[in-house]
Each structure stands twice: as C-alpha cells, then as structure tokens.
Amino acid sequence: MKHTIYIQNQRYQLDAADLIQSGGEGMVFGLGSTAVKLYHQPTPTQADKLRHWLAQRWPLPNDVLAPCAPVHDKKGQLIGLQMPRLPAAAQPFKQLGLPGFWPQHNLTTRQIVPLLQQLHQTLSRLHQLQIVVGDLNETNIFFVPQSSQSFWIDVDSYQFGPYPCPVAMPAFLDPTLYHVTNFGTRPYFTPLTDWYAFTVLLVKSLLQVHPYGGVHRQHKSLQARATAGVSILDGSVTYPPRARPPETLSDDLLHHLHRTFDQGERRPFPIHLLQQYAQTLRTCPHCGLDFPSNRRGCPACSHPTPLPNLPTSRTGLRTLLRVDGFIEAVFWQPNGRLLIITRHGEQVRLIRAGIGGKLSETVLFSGAPGYRFGAFTQANGHDFLVVNPPHRPQLLLLDIHAAQPQQVTLLETALFKNSAVFATTPHHLFRISGGWILRGTVQNGSYLEEAVGTAHQAQTQLFGCPFSNSVAGLHRIFAEHQFFALGADGTERPLPFVRPPHSRITEAAVVFTPQQVAVVAELAGNGRTATHVQTFNQQGQWQQSWELGDEAWETAVYQFPFLQKPSPPPLEPGDRLHFHPAGWLIQQPQQLKFLPYKA
C-alpha cells in the first residue's frame, strides 16, 4: 500500500517504510532530506491556514522547521505539507526533564543555558512577526546534545492572523486558559501565554521538576496547584527528592519564578536573567553540579536531600551499587548474577555483581554517549554482550566470559525511528534482516540464527522478555499499530490492543511481568495526550486497561509492575525496575537498589 502525493506538480510515492512518526493530527514521512506531513483528516480550515502561511514568506529563524510547500493528492486537494527534516541525533526537550539523561550524555547547566537563550531569541523573533506558538511544550522543540542546535516542529499548528492554534498540552497551558474547552474555535493564545510555557520549559529542564510538581496535602493535581498558585517554591510543598534543589538557580531567577507561578504575574521572560545566571555559574568539584557562585556551598552536596528510602528494617530496600558516572543498562543472568554497564565520561565499563555487591569491573571501550546494549547467556553459562553504536544499524556481539571481551561477530539489523531494532532474552538475540525476525545464539563459538517471524521494512519494533525466550513487538502500518507476542516455541499471538475512539498512537512499547505482557501506548486526540496501559495473559488474551494521564509514559514503561501495587516502594520518575529471582532491582542514574519480594 502506498500514498501517491504531488509537491509542486512532481509526483512522489510514500509507503509505510518511509513513515517517521504518526501523531494526533497526521503522519510524518521521510522524503529525501525533507519530511512530509499528511493530515489524517484534511479539512478546509487546515488548507486555508497553510496557504495563508506560505503566502506570507516570513523571514523565520533557521531553527523553525516551517512548512515550505503544500502537498496535494491526485485530485488536487491539499492533504498536507512539506518541511525540513529533523536530524537523526535530535532529542525532544522533554529528555532534559529526566535526571538520568544529563549524565548519560555528559551534559551540564553551562551547556543548556545557552540553548535556552537561543530558544528565547527564536520565540522573541516569532512574536515580532505576529506569530504565537500556542502549544509550546517540551515535545515540539528538539535539540542535539553537545551542540547549540535547536529545532522547532509542528509549526503548522502555530497561531497567526485569524487562524488559531487548535491544541494545547495541559502541563504547559497558562492557567488563565483553563476554561477553554476547544482551542480551535478562535485564537486564544497570546505572547504572554507563550512566555508562561517557556518558563515552564526552563524549570523542567534545569530543575527536573514541573513548577507545580512535588506533593501538597490540599491541592493534589497540577491544575489545582496552578489555580491556587502553590508552586514548588511554597514551603507547604514536599519537594521531589530526585529533583535539583531550587538553589541551583540564581536568586533573581527564583524571584521571577515566584512572581510567575505563585503570584500569577505575566510578562515576557527577561533575557538578562539567563545572561547573568550563565556568568555566575561555578561547578561543584564533588558532584559536578553547576550553581551560582554566591551560594555558600553546593546546593546538592552541602545540603543533601534525603533519598526516598523508607527504613531498611521496614522495606528491605538497600543499595547494591553506587558509581561515578551513569548506569547505562542492567541485565540479570539465569544464575542470578548481574551484568551492569556504566559510563564515566566516554569510558564504558562492565561490572559483574550479585545481590551481595560488586564482583569485578572491566573497561570495555571509549565512545560518545548513546550506545545501546543487550545481553544473553549460552547454555554452558558463557555470557554475551550486544553493543549498538548510536544511530547505526550495526550490532557488535562480544563474548564476555573471559577477562578480556572477544568479538564473536558483527551483524546489521533494521532501523525503526532511526534506532537499531534488536532485543535480547535470557538465551537469545533477536534482530531483523531481509524482512525476517531472526533468533540467534552462540554454539561452539559460532553465532547461528533462524527465522521465526516476518517484519515490515523500517516499521517493526521488538521488545525482549527477561523471563523467557520470547519477544513481543509491533508492526506500524501508516497510522495503525499491530502488537504481537512471539513465544519461545515460535508461536505468534496477536495482542489485541483496543485504541480508544478519536485517538492516535504516538508512542508504543511492550513490557513484561512473569505472568503478564502489557502494551503501553501514548495516545493523542482532541488536542490532548494520555498514556494507556492494556494487559494480556501469556496466551494473548486481553485482561484490563487503565489510563495514567498525559505525563506518565516513562513511569508506565519503566515501572509497570508496580502500577497496581497497593503500597509500592518510593520511586521517582526515571527509575527503572528490573526483575530478579530474589526481588526487584531499581536502577537509578548513579546507583542500583534491591528490594526483596517479601518486603
């Protein structure tokens, strides 16, 4: 099945393998160095708005990936737009709100503040052109780590002239607009609502917490806190332990945040606050945190925030390992031992550990951040590590049984969203090649594979089960997703995920417990996003479903087994759960914890 489109009277054909992303409004395809967005349901209003935009020929900033040409079908109807394509290495600003992302990519505040200054400059220029972003949020602004590049997408939803911005993300929406139920009826946003969203973005990026995050006894939800004007700076709020202390920011920045989020003041963000902040930063020699030089000491080290651990005697929760740097991946072996991949700067290490602590440590290689890993064990107990360089299809298979890792083979796999598709289970590596899902293992020193399923070109993703030698996955066929489980015996079963009406899947993953498999989907519809989880038994029979809200994607994917526990242990966003025969492993950026099941 193909889409035939016309751009400036030139005919092109798009198929499912060209699909980059499917969102609430449309599907985005790659077309050479550009991207093409096709609306799910084109409307005359969208067509008029796009024609108006193209007719203006605004002198836009270079980082705004704006529509550059209309896209028509064979009948001449406008069905979408052409625009510049995001670089493969670009990451959404949302990643900066995750504490683990910073050490993983060797980022510092000194690098991010200039990026925020650039965003400020771009937003100011858009306002000078009488353009309002409207739905300014952490998923439609991208950046390239270790560079000053940023990219603004979803430009066709911007508000200009008589054309409204029809969508809004609640976490970035100015509370003065909470009363609006349909943003598509008329222009509601203003430059001041954009500056409110920019300030939310700044706080989430630099402190790793929403301005109305934390916990308050009386005002439970984000919207209730925003309406009451009770921000993280209020003394009655329990501040998240893993967020950066507010004192990480300058006093002038904190004063501006107080006037914005506690007192409800609205004004353009003063750029000099960021300029002065950047000039006064110094780095803690112990933990590496950047903070204003007028602080008496590091806000994180001199006044440490207690870790969210209940007493050991009550929970059994204890720390197995602390590292300098970042924990990249954790794998448990059939014998109960652990393989832990860590990074410090550009040096990648392999740590072998048990429930009692670290057993050995080996340097693997040096390289830029972004590597992905897998691990499996041969029947005779030999361990193998899979290493995937960032944004490349190669899989390096290493025998790590000996003191020095040895290369077994170098493989190549398919890509999905610019990432290599592979998954490991206790005894196998799965990859995609030539339209087949291949299952491999090592026998007598040789890597052997067999075909166990079919795949769609550039549109199939795989997820390995840590409890058995089975995998699950999804086939993305234009805007539709088909989920499946492939058992250890080779039997393929569909996972019949039921998509709620009037919604589209924008992100999807499959996660496991010993008894269940769950599909986690981020859905967009009616200008809102929400995370849905639906569980299935081992035979692929649907069991239950629940909704987690608009900012629960990481929680659902990383912490799924604890979502329904009556009294789960204290976890932070970004904490990753791993099964172990004796208990749960809790992976944090710089430490690994263990919680026995009896707790």
Q: What is the pLDDT along the chain (599 residues), one digit of tens a residue?
A: 688 999 999 999 998 889 998 877 889 999 999 999 999 989 999 999 999 999 999 999 999 999 999 999 999 999 999 999 999 889 999 999 988 899 888 899 999 999 999 999 999 999 999 999 999 999 999 999 878 789 999 999 999 999 999 999 999 999 999 999 999 999 999 999 999 999 999 999 999 999 999 999 999 999 999 999 999 999 899 999 889 999 999 999 999 999 999 999 999 999 999 999 999 999 998 888 999 988 888 998 864 433 333 333 345 788 999 998 899 999 988 778 899 999 998 899 999 998 888 888 999 999 988 999 999 998 777 899 999 999 899 999 999 987 789 999 999 999 998 899 999 999 999 999 999 999 999 998 899 999 999 999 999 999 999 888 999 999 998 888 999 999 888 889 999 999 888 888 989 999 998 889 999 999 987 777 889 999 999 889 999 998 887 778 888 899 888 776 656 667 777 889 988 888 889 999 999 999 887 64
Gyration radius from the chain CA atoms? 25
Same domain, 232 and 254: yes
Contact predicate 499/521, CB 8 Å: yes
Structural domain includes residue 264: yes
Structural domain includes residue 592: no
What pLDDT does 186 receive? 95
What pLDDT does 567 receive? 61
Q: Is the dihedral of CA 425, 431, 436, 441 positive or negative?
A: negative
How far from chain centre, in Å, is Cα 2?
Answer: 30
Q: How many CB atoms lie within 10 A of CB 345?
A: 12
What pLDDT does 97 receive? 93
Same domain, 145 and 288: yes
Same domain, 457 and 486: yes
Structural domain includes residue 580: no
> What is the distance between the alpha carbons of residues 568 and 570, in angstroms, rounded to a whole number?
6
> What is the distance between the alpha carbons of residues 414 and 475, in angstroms, rounded to a whole number?
13
> What is the distance between the alpha carbons of residues 53 and 481, in angstroms, rounded to a whole number?
32
Domain that holds residue 131: 91-292
Query: How much helix, strand and coil, in percent to the nearest 5, is found in the chain?
Result: 20, 40, 45
What pLDDT does 311 receive? 33
Quick one: DSSP state of residue 327? E
Q: What is the CATH number of the domain that holds 257?
A: 1.10.510.10
Same domain, 69 and 131: no
Q: How many CB atoms lie within 10 A of CB 319?
A: 15
Q: Residue 433, SS3? A: strand
> What is the distance between the alpha carbons of residues 42 and 543, in angstroms, rounded to a whole number?
36
Q: Total structural domains in the chain?
A: 3
Domain boundary among 277, 292, 307: 292
Tokens of 397: 């298979």
Same domain, 34 and 121: no
Q: Which one, of 372, 350, 382, lies nearest residue 416 by Cα?
A: 372
Tokens of 26: 């449309």
Same domain, 50 and 128: no
Angle at 198 between CA 193 and CA 203, to 5 degrees: 125
What pLDDT does 444 receive? 86
Structural domain includes residue 114: yes
> What is the distance between the alpha carbons of residues 523 and 529, in angstroms, rounded to a whole number?
5
> What is the distance between the alpha carbons of residues 82 and 394, in angstroms, rounded to a whole number?
31
> What is the distance between the alpha carbons of residues 464 and 485, in angstroms, rounded to a whole number?
10
Angle at 299 between CA 297 and CA 304, to 5 degrees: 110
What pLDDT does 328 receive? 95
> What is the distance between the alpha carbons of residues 315 and 309, in angstroms, rounded to a whole number?
8
Same domain, 236 and 333: no
What pLDDT does 460 receive? 96
Q: What is the CATH number of the domain that holds 353?
A: 2.130.10.10
Contact predicate 439/426, CB 8 Å: no
Structural domain includes residue 360: yes
The CA-to-CA distance between both ends of the chain, in Å, stands at 53
Q: Residue 23, SS3? A: coil
What pLDDT does 303 receive? 42
What's the whole-model pTM score? 0.77
Q: What is the CATH number of the domain that holds 9?
A: 3.30.200
Q: Is the dihedral of CA 188, 189, 190, 196 positive or negative?
A: positive
Same domain, 390 and 534: yes
Structural domain includes residue 508: yes
Same domain, 142 and 65: no
573: left (phi over 0), alpha (psi -120 to 50) or beta: beta
Structural domain includes residue 79: yes
Q: Are strands 318-322 and 415-416 parallel, antiparallel or unpaired?
A: unpaired
Q: Is the dihedral of CA 266, 272, 273, 278 positive or negative?
A: positive
Same domain, 74 and 113: no
Same domain, 98 and 237: yes
Domain boundary among 32, 54, 84: 84
What pLDDT does 302 receive? 64
Same domain, 362 and 504: yes
Q: Is the dihedral of CA 504, 482, 439, 463 positive or negative?
A: positive
Structural domain includes residue 153: yes
What pLDDT does 152 receive? 97
Tokens of 408: 């077994």
